[in-house]
Structure 1
Amino acid sequence: MVKILELASNEIIQQVSELYKEVWMSEDNSIKERIIKHSSYKGYRGFVILSKEDKVIGFSYGYTSLPGQFYHELLAKEFNSEEYHNWLKDCFEFVELAVHPSYRKQGLVKLLSTKLLENLENKTAILTTQNDNNSARSLYESLHWKVLKEAFYPSNSKQPYVIMGKELM
């Protein structure tokens, strides 16, 4: 049995940071600071799944995407005015999702994704993932996300990403 909790306490954020580094094989410590910063954004919500031993084994979070936010501005450059109006005007930004490799293929990714978008008042949701991350793309497509843009290069990334969107209302 797993428990779903809000991504809020310092202890939970620390565990999320450790999970993030393990999942993405990264020494990047900035996830803690990003979560703390993003938790002050309008519409922020985050969830974790705990194992039977009360260890974080998965998490997801996001917030309302607004002008002036770093990623909103990056995405806005990729859209014409009609696309911007349709996708970013009243949008929830799905920022992060990860599940420990030992707990994959148990429906936890779908559970976290669904929980994060549940009862949102935004018209749309948007996310990005690596262009070649076929498992993530397949998952999102199975959850009715659609590809909006291919070959998006956020910041100075040399790796292409895909922008995906989902209508919520």
Structure 2
Amino acid sequence: MELLPLAPDTPHFRAALDLYEAVHGERPDSAGPRFRDHADHDGYRGVVALDDGGRVVGLAYGHDSKLGGEYHERLRGALPDALAAEWLRDAFELVELAVADGARRCGLGTRLTDAVLDGVKRGTAVLTTERDNDGAKAFYEATGWSPVHEPFVVAGVEMTVFGRALR
């Protein structure tokens, strides 16, 4: 597997959107504008994984979490004050992770998240995943993330907030 940068101007951006649709069910015409917007955030870091045939089989990206940012403010409003201070004061948001069905359970998700977090100059990282997604929750817990708060409701879906110390 080869890891390459992910940004709207990279050659594998469209394939990453197609993978995201296959994994998460969101159409590229919906996810694309959001991915492009996130790439403009401070501290943006994104990677794609290519298999030996050059196909995109994984992606991950995130950016700094900042006061005034939409997701930051939603998280801050949902977390008790002490948790918000601990996890959001100096945070990086791991926004998306997707791995193709045939590439799972071989360490690729770990490689992708590690590549995105490598060199991040923040004290913590946060992410959210569906509260009933036991596979994702087990993966995050096995790779150093801890559940911080639940439920965190997004568009009617109950989520779990995870955090990971980076320093």
Structure 1 and Structure 2 fold alike (TM over 0.5): yes
TM-score normalised according to structure 2 size: 0.94
Measured after TM superposition, the shift of residue 121 of structure 1 is 0.9
Unaligned stretches of 5+ residues in structure 2? none
* Residue 124 (structure 1) aligns with: 124
TM-score normalised according to structure 1 size: 0.93
| Helix, strand or coil at the partner of 2:157 | coil
> What pairs with 1:1-169 in structure 2 (closer than 5 Å)?
2-8=1-7, 9-27=9-27, 29-154=29-154, 157-169=155-167
Say how many residue pairs are matched.
Answer: 166
Letter in 2 for 1:49: A
CA RMSD of aligned residues (A): 1.3
Measured after TM superposition, the shift of residue 36 of structure 1 is 1.2
Q: Distance in 2 between matches of 1:68 and 1:108?
A: 33
Q: Given that residues 45 and 62 in structure 2 are in contact (C-alpha distance below 8 angstroms), is that contact kept between their aligned partners in structure 1?
A: yes
For the structure 1 residues 76 and 149, does the alpha-carbon distance in structure 2 shift closer, same or farther, using more than 3 Å as the test?
Answer: same
| Helix, strand or coil at the partner of 1:60 | strand
For the structure 1 residues 6 and 28, does the alpha-carbon distance in structure 2 shift closer, same or farther, using more than 3 Å as the test?
Answer: closer
Q: Distance in 1 between matches of 2:150 and 2:81?
A: 18
Letter in 2 for 1:99: V
% of aligned pairs identical? 33
For the structure 1 residues 31 and 135, does the alpha-carbon distance in structure 2 shift closer, same or farther, using more than 3 Å as the test?
Answer: same
Measured after TM superposition, the shift of residue 82 of structure 1 is 2.3
